[in-house]
Amino acid sequence: MNATENIKKIIVEKPLKLDCGKTISNYPIAYETYGKLNEKRDNAILAFHALSGDQFVTGTNPITNKSGWWSYLVGPNKAVDTNKFFVICANVIGGCMGSYGPNNLDPKTNKKLGINFPVITINDMVNAQYNLLDFFKIDKLFSIMGGSMGGMQVLQFVANYPDKTKTAIPIACTASHSAQNIALNELGRQAIMADNNWEKGDYLNLNNSPDKGLSVARMAAHITYLSQKGLQEKFGRKLQERDDLKFGFDADFQIESYLRHQGSAFVDRFDANSYLYITRAMDYFDLIKQYKGNLSKAFKDSKVKFFIISFTSDWLYPTSENKEIVIALNAAGADVGFIEITSDKGHDSFLLDVPDFLKSIKNFLEANY
Amino acid sequence: MNATENIKKIIVEKPLKLDCGKTISNYPIAYETYGKLNEKRDNAILAFHALSGDQFVTGTNPITNKSGWWSYLVGPNKAVDTNKFFVICANVIGGCMGSYGPNNLDPKTNKKLGINFPVITINDMVNAQYNLLDFFKIDKLFSIMGGSMGGMQVLQFVANYPDKTKTAIPIACTASHSAQNIALNELGRQAIMADNNWEKGDYLNLNNSPDKGLSVARMAAHITYLSQKGLQEKFGRKLQERDDLKFGFDADFQIESYLRHQGSAFVDRFDANSYLYITRAMDYFDLIKQYKGNLSKAFKDSKVKFFIISFTSDWLYPTSENKEIVIALNAAGADVGFIEITSDKGHDSFLLDVPDFLKSIKNFLEANY
């Protein structure tokens, strides 16, 4: 984990009652912005990041020195044109890029919170980030957008603050986390907690780190972000720097080597306890239950203009789950557009160079600004 | 791991040259039989087990005291009627139920082989099991059948010994392990090897056991054996013995509790090194490459009557991969039937009470005996 002292933060004084019952105050929200807020303050877009994302949407991430996670979509002259729009993104609470999370200190003990950090929800994340509107003196956002867990935050934001955005773009997401997705997240958590170096969550205070467990969790997740067809086309059975099988347990196949790299690279930028907390928040997400089994009530009388996007090869948040949101919005009489983008790149399509996806967002934003 | 001293074994004296180049001899093959071999010795069926299976096809497994893995299919008056047929099943080499595997002793050192066991292939497994035909004095089997890795063995058996079976039933399998399936197996191996108790493969000699790693590997695999729809219908978001979320990392959801149980139960009956070896054999399986890119050559001039079965919700070995086998068999001029069974039970359908599946096999066997 790299130092996060120099990144932008607001300290939220106002108390926030979390869904678990605990109240927090004076907590940090780390954020980044791109483009300029105009005089009318009507060109702001709040982007929400996914499980492993952070506030560094585009350009070079100053902590990892890699491109921001939405570099294909956001930037000057890109689909989300930062010459025109003011893009804000915050690290979610529970995260590890400067916002209030398990690697913060407990002022009472002066130790890292670890798993004494409260279990948070998507609702808590959204309510915490809402404070950025006050900070930037923005009465109403032009748009909110996000994929995967970011899309869940979009849905929750509209439900909580229906008058605070003109448009909303939930991408490759769901209104209620499925059994399979809970299972996959639980697998990741069990991999982390199986690592003795996790130290029952207290590793941060013991100068330890469950790197192997977090790496396995990331490998598991990474497989689910891709598609069968995409994997077959990219890797197939290609061997890794060898002419034939080696009859051992080293990485014979390129896909093995690739996965191992994904696992070990993740450990350098992500905190294992944050992984536990954020996956838990995803699993707890059930907007349908929040509205007593009737999702359309979450969007009742909403004036927000919606644009829902799914991808054909996304088996984690399949089109059917995205369509449930469309159906609920229709039932609520909301203004909603929907597109299923053809792509072999799986769930990760929303992060990649998928021209139809990028063009769809560009057109929607331009038509509505 | 339970004692396996009292189970049936043959000791194969004849040397077997493995694909890795090493030659083995005087090695055990553990087996079980059901029904009686008739006088004409023409009613024998060789069943091949999958990754986590063993020779105890039906009835009560004497080691685990649970039902055999193919109890729905095999037994008196069942689809594979043991009043009529003589069913043989052997534990694969590399396994942990009595056949030659990593928990055997190295006679030179008197230590358990561990990862000094040679890396074996599906071809090696099949060639080792072929010795059972001599042992039972069976010139030609009536049928061979197996699902998943068992199906790969069926294909390999026909390619190696085209005159030694009248019929063949490969179920829910592939002729060439896909990138996604290699990735999923690698995930399981990494989970095991990430466990410090794995001791670089030498845990058997150190009275240790990588239970947590093996448990995580099993959880990962188990998710892939089911289907999104099946999981949603069976578990959905049902809570585990509680009225509401607990805001912690215990198993709130039934699916979490179920997965944890699957992981811990597996550890009691399976060896972690065997898991490494068997998944490696699956990943190495590429019958297309064995026949220089032309799968139909594997079945050239074959007189075997084939019946290929796939399941609609099996995303691990989807219908498309099973159909590739059908296409190759057609190109070879072989006698082949094919059915895609509608089931929401995922890859595991071949082990479960899926009436159309059971009936299809019953009909095929009766029509051809």
State how far the Cα of B185 lies from the Cα of A201, in Å rounded to an integer.
28
Inter-chain residue contact A194 with B215, CB threshold 8 Å: yes
| B139 class by beta-carbon count within 10 Å (0-12 exposed, 13-18 middle, 19+ buried) | exposed
Handedness of CA B255, B66, B150, B263 (dihedral sign): positive
What pTM did the predictor assign?
0.97
Question: In this complex, is the C-beta atom of A235 within 8 Å of any C-beta atom belonging to chain B?
Answer: yes
Is A231 within 8 Å of chain B by CB?
yes
Taking residues A21-26, what's their average pLDDT? 98
Q: Is B38 on the interface with A (CB under 8 A)?
A: no
The pLDDT of residue A77 is above 70: yes
d(CA B369, CA B366): 5
The reply to whether residue A186 touches residue B255, judged by beta carbons under 8 angstroms, is yes
> Tell me, what's the pLDDT at A5?
67
In chain A the domains, ranked by start, together with CATH numbers, are: 9-177+286-368 (3.40.50.1820), 182-278 (1.10.1740.110)
- Residues of A in Cβ contact (< 8 Å) with B20: 247
For chain B, first and last CA: distance in Å? 39
Of B177, B190, B223, the CB nearest to A219: B190
Q: What is the pLDDT of residue B301?
A: 86
Query: Tokens at residue A361, please?
Result: 């967002």
Please write down the HEC assignment for all residues of A318-348.
Answer: CHHHHHHHHHHHHHCCCEEEEEEECCCCHHH
Output the pLDDT for position A6: 80
- Write out chain B's pLDDT in tens, 369 residues: 445 668 999 999 999 999 999 999 999 999 999 999 999 999 999 999 999 999 999 999 999 999 999 999 999 999 999 999 999 999 999 999 999 999 999 999 999 999 999 999 999 999 999 999 999 999 999 999 999 999 999 999 999 999 999 999 999 999 999 999 999 999 999 999 999 999 999 999 999 999 999 999 999 999 999 999 999 999 999 999 999 999 999 999 999 999 999 999 999 999 999 999 999 999 999 999 999 999 999 999 899 999 999 999 999 999 999 999 999 999 999 999 999 999 999 999 999 999 999 999 999 999 999
Tokens of B154: 């069926």
Residues from chain A contacting residue B19 (CB–CB below 8 Å) = 247
Q: What is the DSSP string of B98-127?
A: SSS-TTSEETTTTEE-GGGSPP--HHHHHH
d(CA A124, CA A127): 5
Cα(A177)–Cα(A183) distance, rounded to whole angstroms? 10
Do residues B184 and A221 touch, judged by C-beta distance below 8 A?
Answer: no
Average pLDDT rounded to a whole number, residues A275-304: 97
pLDDT in tens, A305-337: 999 999 999 999 999 999 999 999 999 999 999
Nearest to A47 by CA among A171, A163, A139, A162: A171
Interface of A with B in 278-317 (CB under 8 A): 280, 283-284, 286, 289, 315
Test B118 with A247 for CB contact under 8 angstroms.
Answer: yes
Q: Torsion angle of alpha carbons A51, A57, A61, A65, nearest 10°?
A: 80
- Cβ of A190 within 8 Å of Cβ of B255? The answer is no
| Largest Cα span, chain B | 66
Given a cut of 60, is residue A339 above it in pLDDT?
yes
Q: Between A118, A182, A219, which is nearest B255 by CB?
A: A182
Mean pLDDT, chain A, rounded, equals: 97
Q: CB B180 to CB A228 under 8 A?
A: yes
Using the CB atoms, write b or e for A342-364: b if 16+ within 10 Å: ebbbbbbbbbeebeebbebbeeb
3-state secondary structure of A118: coil
Q: Which of B180, B251, B286 sits opposite A231 (nearest CB)?
A: B180
Q: How far apart are CA B25 and CA B14, in angstroms?
A: 6
Nearest CA of chain B to the CA of A183: how many Å? 6
Give the position of tokens 């065997």.
B274
Q: Are B258 and B236 in contact (CB under 8 A)?
A: no
Query: What integer is the mean pLDDT of A234-239?
Result: 97
The secondary structure of residue B298, as a DSSP letter, is G
Overall size of chain B counted in residues: 369
Instruction: DSSP for A251-283, please give it.
Output: --BHHHHHHHHHHHHHHTT--HHHHHHHHHHHH
Q: Give the mean pLDDT of A136-161.
A: 98
Tell me which residues of B are annotated as active site: 148, 314, 347
The answer, for A31 touching chain B at a CB cutoff of 8 Å, is no
Averaged pLDDT, A164-177: 98
Q: Considering only the beta carbons, identify the residue of A119, A187, A260 that sits closest to B220.
A: A187
Determine the average pLDDT of the residues in A290-319. Answer: 97
Element housing A356 (H / E) = helix A355-368
Q: Which residues of A35-62 are buried (b: 16+ CB within 10 A; e: fewer)?
A: bebeeeeebbbbbbbbbbbbbbbbeebe
**Active site residue ranges of A:** 148, 314, 347
The neighbour count for residue A107, using CB atoms within 10 Å, is 8
- Residue pair A247/A239 in contact (Cβ under 8 Å)? The answer is no
Q: How far is CA A356 from the centre of its chain?
A: 21
CA–CA dist A224, A209 (Å, integer): 25
With CB atoms and an 8 Å threshold, state whether B223 touches A187.
yes
Note whether A179 contacts B115, CB cutoff 8 Å.
Answer: no
Within 13 Å and on the Cβ side, how many CA atoms surround A280? 28
